Chains A and B, each alone.
Chain A
């Protein structure tokens, strides 16, 4: 048997049919659904009188549009479009008999946080969702990626997906991370090296000591942003941490089923002599706490650096950098640590898990945000929120002057009431900093939760290591 990568193994285990041109029909183990990309897909089923092929493997939760304020049960808190989409998901979930966590359910939250939390995401699975950050689930050694609305309809109807196989890329992070450096710094630093197109055509497997040392939450942060590097998906081979995380989750297998699943999961690693189409190696000790300065996740620099000049770049990037600097209102040569901010957003499917909240609370404990700064913490799910309250983290945030919100995508994207005003500058733990991503004219600097917490205290982009 020829040596295989982890991706090869999961792929091979799910091919239902392969055409002569290499196009495959893949079996899908889990289909996650949210309110924005699913209405047309369900309508397509209705129009052709079809049902959902595997309702027990289809899980829906509203997250993008839902307000995160306590009064969100009041429909008036949503725009008309948002309300229609959430109501459509309510109806579609009921009509088609799929698993559903409505807004009122304490388990509601961001689909990529709810899936793993409830044990829907397991090693070796194929997981799809009409959302690019589905890559998050790769942290479990699951082949997980976003799909378009027409593909959502195809998966709903058939539980399969037409795909061509991607190439294999290995991203190895060797050694140990230094204090103050987190999973977010790893994933942003990788994109800083590869660029946002560097992963195009590949599935990335992250490996190395620094990756193995990460918690499952940290691994989810790394894989979450694989898509920002252009990759089809990100993967991390499952290990004892993965099994421990999965064990006992509501929808994880139990008893003999657990043992059978575990036996397979333990085969899910890349063989020593597997072939890679591309390999990138970074030293963990070389990675610093980073922030983005521009309007692409690849515009990333250590917090100790200065704002670059457009002339620092080559080719087409010169114009893009100048446009980024103009949009971001930054002057080249300014120390990043001198850039003042207006807003702090801690949350999202990238950094809205309990470990992220712990990291931010550790920095904020006994301190206050700077006067005039708008700061909010938005847990990734109702259960993350409950856990944070149990641990006293919510008290730390509230005492520091943060708003303590209900679960949702919130300020990660301008599809709900949590938005930046034009010109407003935000220290954000989310994954995207495109123009207008957090609101028209809003300026986004991506960073880790600890860095965002530090920025809230000083009112500027801040090197969290100075507060440790």
Chain B
């Protein structure tokens, strides 16, 4: 019984790799000289959340500009500047 349960669980956990490959939480950015360049997966993030998150790092806590460009791989690229 115990071995059977552990085997089932191992099979279930092994299958988690499929979930991982979607990587819906992807969101990366670099902050340099007051400008932020990054990408995010729209399955897990949206423009409002992204702006709310990145503006905290601006000295003014506000963004002056925020522009998005969809990428061929399904991710959204963005460029933002602090106010």
List residues of chain B with CB within 8 A of the CB of A252.
16
Tell me if A253 and B57 are in contact (CB < 8 A).
no
The digit string for B1-23, where 1 denotes a CB below 8 A from any CB of A, is 01101101111110111011000
List residues of chain B with CB within 8 A of the CB of A122.
13
Chain B residue nearest in CB terms to A123 = B9
Tell me if B15 and A257 are in contact (CB < 8 A).
yes
Tell me if A261 and B32 are in contact (CB < 8 A).
no
The digit string for B51-80, where 1 denotes a CB below 8 A from any CB of A, is 001001100000000000000000000000
List residues of chain B with CB within 8 A of the CB of A70.
31, 57
* Contact-size category for A: 35 or more
Tell me if B19 and A250 are in contact (CB < 8 A).
yes
Q: Judge if A258 is at the interface, Cβ distance under 8 Å.
A: yes
Tell me if B13 and A104 are in contact (CB < 8 A).
no
Q: Judge if A43 is at the interface, Cβ distance under 8 Å.
A: no
Contacting B8 at CB < 8 Å: which of A56, A104, A107, A263?
A: A263
List residues of chain B with CB within 8 A of the CB of A83.
none
Q: Judge if A29 is at the interface, Cβ distance under 8 Å.
A: yes
Contacting A261 at CB < 8 Å: which of B9, B25, B38?
A: B9
Q: How far is the CA of A360 from the CA of B6 in the complex (A)?
A: 40
Q: How far is the CA of A49 from the CA of B57 in the complex (A)?
A: 43
Tell me if A104 and B38 are in contact (CB < 8 A).
yes
List residues of chain B with CB within 8 A of the CB of A56.
17, 20
* Contact-size category for B: 20 to 34
List residues of chain B with CB within 8 A of the CB of A386.
53
List residues of chain A with CB within 8 A of the CB of B53.
106, 386, 389
Tell me if A102 and B19 are in contact (CB < 8 A).
no
- Min distance, Cβ B77 to any Cβ of chain A, angstroms: 13
Q: Judge if A317 is at the interface, Cβ distance under 8 Å.
A: no
Q: Judge if A226 is at the interface, Cβ distance under 8 Å.
A: no
Q: How far is the CA of A56 from the CA of B6 in the complex (A)?
A: 20
- Min distance, Cβ A387 to any Cβ of chain B, angstroms: 11
- Min distance, Cβ A425 to any Cβ of chain B, angstroms: 30
Tell me if B9 and A124 are in contact (CB < 8 A).
yes
Q: How far is the CA of A107 from the CA of B29 in the complex (A)?
A: 11
Tell me if B16 and A257 are in contact (CB < 8 A).
yes
Contacting B32 at CB < 8 Å: which of A13, A73, A119, A260?
A: A73
Chain A residue nearest in CB terms to B18 = A56
Tell me if B29 and A104 are in contact (CB < 8 A).
yes
Q: How far is the CA of A389 from the CA of B51 in the complex (A)?
A: 13
Tell me if B9 and A106 are in contact (CB < 8 A).
no
The digit string for A119-139, where 1 denotes a CB below 8 A from any CB of B, is 100101100000000000000
Tell me if A13 and B11 are in contact (CB < 8 A).
no
Q: How far is the CA of A124 from the CA of B17 in the complex (A)?
A: 17
Q: Judge if A394 is at the interface, Cβ distance under 8 Å.
A: yes
Q: Judge if B46 is at the interface, Cβ distance under 8 Å.
A: no
Q: How far is the CA of A70 from the CA of B38 in the complex (A)?
A: 15
Q: How far is the CA of A389 from the CA of B6 in the complex (A)?
A: 40
Residue from B6, B15, B57 having most chain A Cβ neighbours under 10 A: B6
List residues of chain B with CB within 8 A of the CB of A257.
12-13, 15-16
List residues of chain B with CB within 8 A of the CB of A260.
8-9, 11-12
Tell me if B8 and A264 are in contact (CB < 8 A).
yes
- Min distance, Cβ A52 to any Cβ of chain B, angstroms: 13
Question: For residues 1 through 39 of chain A, which have their beta carbon under 8 Å from a beta carbon of chain B?
Answer: 1, 9, 13, 29
Q: How far is the CA of A74 from the CA of B34 in the complex (A)?
A: 12
List residues of chain B with CB within 8 A of the CB of A73.
30-32
Q: How far is the CA of A331 from the CA of B25 in the complex (A)?
A: 52
Q: How far is the CA of A29 from the CA of B12 in the complex (A)?
A: 12
Chain A residue nearest in CB terms to B50 = A106
Q: How far is the CA of A256 from the CA of B11 in the complex (A)?
A: 11
Some 11 contacts from A to B, beta carbons below 8 A apart, are A9-B2, A74-B32, A99-B20, A105-B28, A106-B53, A125-B13, A253-B16, A257-B16, A263-B8, A264-B6, A264-B8
- 10 closest cross-chain pairs (CB), A and B: A264-B9, A56-B17, A257-B12, A73-B30, A104-B28, A13-B6, A260-B12, A264-B5, A260-B8, A106-B27
Residues of B within 8 A of A (CB): 2-3, 5-6, 8-13, 15-17, 19-20, 24-32, 38, 53, 56-57
Residues of A within 8 A of B (CB): 1, 9, 13, 29, 56-57, 70-71, 73-74, 99, 102, 104-107, 118-119, 122, 124-125, 250-254, 256-258, 260-261, 263-265, 267, 386, 389, 394
